[in-house]
Amino acid sequence: MLRRIVFAVVAIGLVACATYASFYVAPEERTMGAIQRIFYFHASTAWAGETTFFVCFVANLLYIWKRKPQYDWLGLACAEVGAACITVVLVTGPIWAKPVWGIWWTWDARLTSTFVLWILYICYLLLRTLLDEPERRALLSALFGVFAFIDVPIVFGAIRWWRTQHPAPVIMGGPGSGLDPVMKKVFFFNVLAMHVFAGFLIAERYYLEKTRHGVELLQREAEAR
Amino acid sequence: MALLSNAAVLVGKEVRTEFRSRELLSTTIVFVLVVVVVFSFTFDPTSSESRRFGPGLLWMAFLFAASLMLQPCFLREQTADTLTALRLAVEDPFAIFLAKIAANTLFLLLMELLMLPVFAALFNVSFAAQLPAILLTFFLGSLGISVVGTALAAISAQARMRELLLPLLLLPLLTPVLVVSTEVTIRLMQAEPYLEWRGIGLMAAFDAVFLTVLWLFGEYFLEE
Amino acid sequence: MPAAQRSIGLQFDQVEKRYGSVYALRNLTFHIAPGECVALAGRNGSGKTTLLRVAARLVRPGRGTVSYSGADRNRRPAIGFVAHAPMVYEELTAEENLLFFARLQNVEHPAEQVGKLLAEVGLEDRRDSPVRTFSRGMRQRTAIARALLARPSLLLFDEPATGLDAESGFWLTDQVRKLRDSGCTIVMSLHGESELARLATRAVRLEAGGLIADTHRGAMFQSIFAGTAI
């Protein structure tokens, strides 16, 4: 319990500091103005979402190999937190894009791939709700998760190639490209903070799943008597 | 090699079963036709517009048709529990997948090739000169759809809402196939047609990657 | 009746299988010697079907091991499995079904074997009819022919007499007797004491996934089926 509280405090604290830094430490961007500050939050959440997706993939593989329910709980927690991260990314992106570039959305490589990634996460979660038996659910969703993860780089590659054929406005230059050194530090601090926060959320979700599982076992044992 | 001979026997059975009733093929072909007609209402089918939108529309129709056509793949094996008999009979469960993928690719290809002249007539485009290239494109695309589709059919057959689940899971995963094959087909339909080898390479890579993944994990899809 | 290649024994070691929080099999340990004919009794949900499916390698146990004594180490043991569903393709004819499964299992001289089996199970004159036109009894005969194609060393029956009329029931009992006498190892799950049960050389009773009685350990045959042997 103490560990969870400490983790919570550290995670929230880091995010608070990172937000402060984004608003007060980082210099104002020349062309875009204050709205650019959303970039720190947006891009760092995107990175956290991608890391989470990778951890989900590893958890899926481990479940297929070892069949321990803990890996299933981890995969589920990562998928939910990852989906939340990407949702944030897809919402903050347009909020930033509209005032700066005048458009809500563009079908460039990165945005389109992110959208597909988000849909795949949602499909994983949806699939889980449609499988009743716990071991089948864990195994089949893990298999889908593996397929989805392997597909993502191919999706990105294919869409990027497609985009070279049909050039479109590229908005949101890559993070770290031409960033002022102070901005870079603030950005990477945000990345750290978002990763820790995502980790905290995953841990809490994992704990919730573990508890739910324990309750189910107790219920069954009570029924059997 | 046992895997291939098993798969060959299985493919024979799949093809024989389908050609006896032809219900899957005929329903799928009609469905694709309907989709193409309905979609054509969404743009003005002049020649240049057709060349731009046509291939995308064609591949979308193929994808939708496939997501419905792949449903019975494993559902059929559930009615008399023949899947259990197959699992008992074959050494390597991947043979079951290999056979279904081969059969599904064949059926998809057949459907696509039958649609081609219809499409050419409806939209006033000509494919005659590029037929081998078209065949290659259709083959690689259909193979990709089959590999992923058969795997997902095995998953959705065990879930609820399976009729909706398979298209839902399949379409996002097949984004690369849709994007790349559309591009390659556009190039093959334009005024100066040529085969985009990079696209072909991407499609072949997709097929190889997922076939390998399925080979590694295939038995778990059918496990109880 | 094609002779078994070499009958094998079956060994379960602390096998456990869970579905969610329900234990279908619980710490199950027993040994079946080659050539034994075992009747498996127990209520619905006692784990009989799961036991048979684990023995057939269709279901992976969560814990424990299943091994086959006397089996050729390099090859999978030839196991025949007959369940409630016939496990044959309705659209194909009896002959096509059997030829298909024969080729799949690399049976030698498939056409010949199929012909012999069709005669054995009394479906010779219906060989060219699609299975969907068959009665339940005829489907079960096709299922048994399918199970016997690869000359199995171990035969597993999951309530095989369900839904069979009297005549087919007698026929089934006759087939099992012949198989038992040819030395095949047989395990059959049954509902109650019956003609089929009386063919068994041993009876065991399952309850809640565990073995609670075994004639090998002195329990009485009748009490196994009555459920009074604890």
pLDDT digits 0-9 by tens, C186-212: 999 988 778 888 888 899 999 888 888
E-strand ranges in chain B read: none
- A→C interface, C-beta within 8 Å: 67, 133-135, 216-217, 219-221
pLDDT digits 0-9 by tens, C107-155: 889 999 999 999 988 888 988 999 999 988 889 899 999 999 988 889 9
Give the residue from chain B lying closest to A165, CA to CA. B183
Confidence of residue A178 (pLDDT cuts 50, 70, 90): low
Contacts of A157 in chain B (CB under 8 A): 176, 202
Q: Under 8 Å CB-to-CB from A131, ≥6 apart: which residues?
A: A137, A140, A141, B158, B159, B160
Min CA distance, A155 vs chain C (Å)? 35
Instruction: Say yes or no: B26 contacts chain C, CB-CB below 8 A.
Output: no
Min CA distance, B19 vs chain A (Å)? 32
B95-112 residues labelled b (16+ CB within 10 A) or e (exposed): bbbbbbbbbbbbbbbebb
Which strands form C202-207's sheet, in the order they lie side by side? Answer: C79-82, C154-158, C185-189, C37-41, C202-207, C210-214
Share of chain A above pLDDT 70, in %: 92
Tell me how far the alpha carbon of residue B194 is from its chain's centroid: 24
Mean pLDDT over the full length of chain A: 87
Instruction: Say yes or no: B220 contacts chain C, CB-CB below 8 A.
Output: no
Shortest CB distance from B9 goes to which of C60, C87, C100? Answer: C100
Give the residue from chain C lying closest to B92, CA to CA. C76
Give the residue from chain A lying closest to C20, CA to CA. A134
Q: With a cut of 80, say whether residue A72 has pLDDT above it.
A: yes
Cβ atoms of residues C208 and C47 within 8 Å? yes
Shortest CB distance from C19 goes to which of A67, A135, A217? Answer: A135
Confidence of residue B45 (pLDDT cuts 50, 70, 90): low
State the maximum Cα–Cα separation within chain A, in Å, rounded to a whole number. 71
Q: Write down the pTM of the prediction.
A: 0.89
| Residue B175, pLDDT score | 93
Confidence of residue C229 (pLDDT cuts 50, 70, 90): very low
CB contact under 8 A, C18 and A135: yes
| Residue B93, pLDDT score | 92
Instruction: Say yes or no: B173 contacts chain A, CB-CB below 8 A.
Output: yes
Cβ atoms of residues A198 and A85 within 8 Å? yes
d(CA A159, CA A150): 15
CB contact under 8 A, C92 and B16: yes
Give the residue from chain C lying closest to A220, CA to CA. C21
Min CA distance, B16 vs chain A (Å)? 30
Min CA distance, C21 vs chain A (Å)? 6
Confidence of residue A176 (pLDDT cuts 50, 70, 90): very low
Min CA distance, A62 vs chain C (Å)? 16
